[in-house]
Amino acid sequence: QRAGRAGRRGSSLSTIVTFCEDGPYDTLYFNDPIPMFRGDPRKPWIDIRSEKLLQRHLAMVILQEFLSENHMSLDTVSAAVFLNDFLDSFKEYLAAYDGDKNKLLLPVGIPFHYSVFEDELKKSFDTLREKCQTHPELFGIEEGAKKGEAKVLLDALYEEGIIPTYSFPKNVVSTYIPDMYGKILYEVDRGLDVAIGEYAPGRAIVVDKQTYQIGGFYYPGSERRHGQALTPARAYTEDPNYVKQVISCPECGWFGLMEEKTKRCPFCGNGTLKITREMMRPWGFAPRNAESIPDVQLSEEYTAVQQPLYSTLPEAEEMKLAPGCKNIRIASRTNQRIIMLNKGSDDKGFMVCKDCGAAMPGDDISVLNNINRPYKSKYAQSKCRHSNCFNVNLGYDFITDMLVLEFTIDDRIIDARRNENPWLNRAAQSLAEALRLVASKKLDVEFTELVTGYRLRTGSEASYVDIYLYDSLSSGAGYAVSVADSIAELLTDMKKLLSTCDCGSACSKCLKHYRNQYVHGMLDRFAALQLLEWGIDGINASPIKPEKQIKMIMPLVNILKQSGCEIIADGEITATGRRNTKKIVVYPAMWVEPCAAGTIFISDAYIKYAKPYAVQKILDNIQ
């Protein structure tokens, strides 16, 4: 701000107005705003240990040298021309390149293998050439394209992550809004992680005061390829890079990609893995029938993106006990595969026409009955019959670096049944959100730069909760990996964040914000605190005090009375039914259910979140 004041007259006082939004990230800063104004500036840094980052920068140097010798430039030569005419000579240049002369560019003491780099770079270029030949419209060289529309090499390499990306998002997809003749009027971009939810078929968007309902997948120019006016989507739906087979374990819920050739479930050891619904990566979204829709006719269908799915299992030797912790192990891992999925409403996926690209949420062909092509073309006047459809989940996979915290759960003490007991899911989700907020404050970066998730897995001797943190952009900044060095401080800050708020479970001052609105109902700072204390000190939840038990059971008294059950709360709680009288004890949901003669044990989670179950359990035991 001060730099902008130079040379201005008329006001001797420079004023900066700052404001905050209603969310925990802003609350963290504005509760103690002094460091914002007179604190130490953030230390600029970059992860020089990241082999991915070194490879990208070296690729840029070698490409520049090759192109300058051939009197070309990254930002002028088209990607298609380079891949078709110059790639083979570039590979020869790469093989003959003197890797030693670039040692000055690499950090001292960081191992870098030129031969591995060379092989990976060649493989990346071969994949890019294959993509260019399969989908030429993505490179701006479809039939009928105007001269000068071809994608330049710089953009193509950046999108594939072959050269440095400098924290700009790579996985970007557009929604294409056409006019009545099929010409593209607007192109609205979003990151794929957001787009597979907000632009999913069935959702509505407003562009230039017109409402459009998303109704298919389309990329401009794909219908202009020879013989593909009626089937522009087929080149994508038959491409294994866009449609991937997913396998899962029916026993524990593990999932992974078929291409990884996993034979046995890495979580529980089950050898019978089943093929589930395919995952399709969108290549571009388009409005239903390629036109706007009156608001009165709009019936919007909301679908949401699931938690990031992380299917790799860390090697045992990689996991190290976190300092000062009894049940938390930690690992920093590079090149981990994350899968983002939108399974549609009620887990029914989306019906997609393999020919024209029309799509709607649901698992029945009838959802496409009144849906026309999502594009307009003078060569495709007839209505598509959608005779070649398939049911898919929307999603994509990507590689990133991550930090994993593994909590070991003793099944003899803690109830780790994920379906019967809501405590574990609530605790893990809330702790993941706390880690994201605290890590972003520690690194002094926007919390949107980091993404967290959790997974539950069952071992032969114990259960495990994995909380993982990764960079939202695979730029090589290495945010997630860098916080591993100060994990003890982070755990202390998480404990402080979870224990100092005054809300009943979670609020906008501690855990709730716009970006996690789909899990607001699961957030519970007390459950997260219990899991964290177990991880650090091995402490189980304390018994609930009798007066608090009485307070918790009171909302059920009138309901139970109508069913012939009398509740008496005098120091302890007793329930009297038609046949007998029993004592009632409310215990923390974290515990494995105790048992004692003449006593009904009710989990506090049932009373808070599932009152009908609590009522039924009492009635079943005394009638």
Domain boundary, last residue among 511, 537, 563 = 537
Looking at every residue in the chain, the average pLDDT score rounds to 86
**Whole-number pLDDT of residue 307:** 80
pLDDT mean over 568-595 = 88
If DSSP codes are grouped into helix, strand and coil, which group holds residue 188?
strand
Helix-helix angle 87-96:114-134, to 10 degrees: 180
Which 3 state secondary structure label does DSSP give 295? Answer: helix
Q: State whether residue 340 is helix, strand or coil.
A: strand
377 and 228 part of one domain: yes
353/225 same-domain check = yes
Looking at the structure, tell me whether residues 244 and 185 fall in a common domain: yes
Of 164, 193, 220, which closes a domain?
164
- Residues 561-571: tens digit of each pLDDT: 888 888 888 88
Q: What is the pLDDT at residue 206?
A: 92
Residue type, 612: P
Same domain, 172 and 272: yes
Q: Is residue 232 located within the same domain as residue 345?
A: yes
2: left (phi over 0), alpha (psi -120 to 50) or beta: alpha
- Note whether 245 and 379 are same-domain residues: yes
Note the pLDDT of residue 620: 87
Q: Considering the chain, what percentage of its residues have pLDDT values greater than 70?
A: 94
346 & 364 share domain: yes
Domain count, the chain: 5
| Residue span of the structural domain in which 517 resides | 400-537
Residue tagged 């003491």 (tokens): 109
326 falls within a domain: no
Do the domain assignments include residue 331? no
> Could you say which of 144, 164, 184 is where a domain stops?
164
Query: Does position 254 have pLDDT exceeding 50, yes or no?
Result: yes
Residue 28 lies in a domain: yes
- Considering the domain architecture, whether residues 476 and 518 belong to the same structural domain is answered as yes
One domain, residues 157 and 172: no
325 falls within a domain: no
The span from the CA of 265 to the CA of 83, in Å, is: 40
Same domain, 80 and 153: yes
329 lies in some domain: no
How does residue 13 score in pLDDT terms, banded at 50, 70 and 90?
A: low
- pTM here is 0.80
573 and 520 fall within a common domain = no
Res 2: pLDDT: 45
The verdict on residue 355 lying in a domain is: yes
322 lies in some domain = no
Q: pLDDT tens digits, residue range 386-423?
A: 999 999 999 998 888 889 999 999 988 998 877 778 89
- Residue 200 pLDDT > 70, yes or no? yes
Please tell me the predicted confidence (pLDDT) of residue 212: 95
Task: Kindly report which listed range (27-36, 126-135, 178-187, 245-254) carries the lowest average pLDDT score.
Answer: 27-36
In a domain, residue 333? The reply is no
Quick one: pLDDT at residue 104?
67
524 phi, psi to nearest 5 deg: -155, 105
Instruction: Indicate whether 373 and 393 sit together in one domain.
Output: yes
Tracing tokens 């709607």 back to the chain, one arrives at 360
Q: What is the pLDDT of residues 307-354, one digit of tens each?
A: 888 877 766 667 888 888 999 999 888 778 888 999 999 999 999 999
Q: Are 67 and 79 in contact (CB under 8 A)?
A: no
CB 184 within 8 A of CB 176: yes
